[in-house]
């Protein structure tokens, strides 16, 4: 699943490529929104909200999407078509006034709604660590309180709960817990300095958007990650084999890796 930094980078790319473009033809292939017609509307901007993408038009409409594990957005050059094998997965195609076509493929979540109603699709999200939704109150402070309020829930589950903090995915959550020597199974309400962890998370996400698209957390060519995806391999700090628990054996339903010594 695309994490917050990946989605923010996609939003910035699409915004640079299409903001200001006029939509001359639209094709929305979704049962609920198949009659939506965006032709004649100009794309104002693309914005990320946690792991959600929002494309707003000058007619007060928003195209909302979530990529999850399969979705993608691309801008096709004039006269370029999608491969035939991809066409069954096409969910939306917007032809622009310069001949290019903006296409969304295999999008598991796609909504067309009034911009003023965006809260119905993203209003449940917690503060965005990348700061795109702050309104005078630091998102770190609010997110830390929400994570701590998870009480007896495990800290890894609390960090992955998008209602508490938006944008962290499984990789970032587990790498951050290792870096800060926090056991993923510790109760969220007992973890000290949650703000420190989230401040570091923001710094790493911002760096990833700017200069780390590979999401390398070790700073080395290999391995790129400290614990994520490294089951039974030696910890890069202490040499202890990395512990692993499959998704079906975790209360939060996600694969989990940790060092039994460094995160005791």
CATH number at 215 reads: 1.10.8.50
Closest CA to 51 of 37, 65, 36: 65
Contacts of 140 (CB under 8 A, 6+ apart): 127, 129, 195, 198, 199, 202
Are 181 and 107 found together in one domain?
no
What's the pLDDT tens digit per position in 190-245?
Answer: 999 999 999 999 999 999 999 999 999 999 999 999 999 999 999 999 999 999 99
pLDDT at residue 126 in the model: 94
pLDDT at residue 1 in the model: 60
- 127 part of a folded domain: no
Averaged pLDDT of the chain: 95
CA 4 to each of CA 47, 107, 132, 176: distance values in angstroms, whole numbers, following the listed order? 12, 16, 11, 14
- 128 part of a folded domain: no
What's the pLDDT tens digit per position in 157-195?
Answer: 999 999 999 999 999 999 999 999 999 999 999 999 999
Mean pLDDT of 142-146: 94
pTM: 0.91
CA atoms within 13 A on the CB side of 133: 25
- 131 part of a folded domain: no
DSSP reduced 3-state for 46: strand
Mean pLDDT of 15-44: 97
Are 252 and 183 found together in one domain?
yes
Domain final position from 57, 92, 122 = 122
- 62 part of a folded domain: yes
Are 53 and 103 found together in one domain?
yes
Closest CA to 21 of 102, 80, 91: 102
Are 117 and 226 found together in one domain?
no
Are 153 and 223 found together in one domain?
yes
23: tokens are 């939509």
- 130 part of a folded domain: no
- Check if the beta carbon of residue 158 is closer than 8 Å to that of residue 147: yes
Does the N-terminal peptide bond of residue 223 adopt cis geometry, omega within 30 degrees of 0? yes
Are 178 and 97 found together in one domain?
no
Are 41 and 97 found together in one domain?
yes
Domain final position from 122, 149, 164 = 122
- 76 part of a folded domain: yes
Are 175 and 229 found together in one domain?
yes
Whether the pLDDT of residue 132 is over 80: the answer is no
Q: Give the structural domain span for 77.
A: 4-122
CA 127 to chain centre: 13
Whether the pLDDT of residue 138 is over 80: the answer is no
* Residue 79 to residue 252: CA distance in whole angstroms: 46
CA 260 to each of CA 185, 231, 237, 240, 246: distance values in angstroms, whole numbers, following the listed order? 11, 12, 12, 7, 16
* Residue 182 to residue 194: CA distance in whole angstroms: 10
pLDDT grade for 137, boundaries at 50, 70 and 90: low
* Residue 5 to residue 213: CA distance in whole angstroms: 8
Whether the pLDDT of residue 2 is over 90: the answer is no
Whether the pLDDT of residue 6 is over 70: the answer is yes
Q: What percent of the chain has pLDDT over 90?
A: 94
Domain final position from 66, 90, 122 = 122
Q: What percent of the chain has pLDDT over 70?
A: 97
- 264 part of a folded domain: no
What's the pLDDT tens digit per position in 66-101?
Answer: 999 899 999 999 999 999 999 999 999 999 999 999
Number of domains in the chain: 2
Whether the pLDDT of residue 109 is over 50: the answer is yes
Helix (H) or strand (E) holding 199: helix 194-211
CATH number at 81 reads: 3.20.190.10
pLDDT grade for 139, boundaries at 50, 70 and 90: confident
Are 8 and 109 found together in one domain?
yes
Q: Following CA atoms 229, 231, 237, 238 in sequence, which dihedral angle do they give, to the nearest 10 degrees?
A: 180
Residue reference for tokens 């969910």? 91
pLDDT at residue 134 in the model: 44
């Amino acid at each position: 699943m695309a994490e917050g930094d990946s989605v923010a980078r996609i939003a910035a790319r699409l915004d640079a490529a299409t903001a200001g473009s006029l939509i001359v033809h639209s094709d929305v292939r979704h049962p609920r929104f198949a009659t939506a017609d965006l032709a004649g509307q100009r794309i104002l901007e693309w914005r990320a909200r946690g792991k959600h993408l929002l494309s707003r038009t000058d007619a007060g409409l928003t195209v909302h999407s979530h990529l999850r594990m399969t979705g993608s957005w691309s801008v096709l050059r004039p006269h370029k078509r999608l491969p035939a094998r991809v066409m069954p997965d096409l969910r939306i195609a917007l032809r622009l006034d310069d001949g290019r076509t903006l296409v969304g493929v295999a999008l598991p979540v796609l909504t067309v709604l009034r911009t003023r109603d965006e809260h119905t699709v993203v209003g449940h999200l917690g503060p965005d660590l990348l700061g795109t939704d702050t309104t005078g109150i630091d998102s770190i402070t609010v997110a830390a309180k929400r994570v701590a309020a998870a009480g007896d829930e495990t800290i890894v589950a609390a960090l992955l709960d998008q209602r508490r903090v938006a944008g962290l995915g499984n990789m970032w959550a587990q790498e951050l817990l290792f870096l800060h020597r926090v056991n993923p199974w510790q109760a969220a309400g007992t973890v000290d300095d949650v703000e420190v962890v989230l401040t570091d998370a923001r710094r790493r996400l911002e760096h990833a958007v700017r200069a780390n698209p590979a999401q390398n957390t070790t700073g080395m060519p290999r391995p790129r990650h400290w614990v994520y995806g490294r089951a039974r391999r030696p910890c890069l700090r202490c040499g202890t084999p990395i512990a692993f628990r499959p998704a079906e054996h975790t209360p939060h339903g996600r694969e989990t890796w940790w060092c039994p010594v460094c995160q005791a």
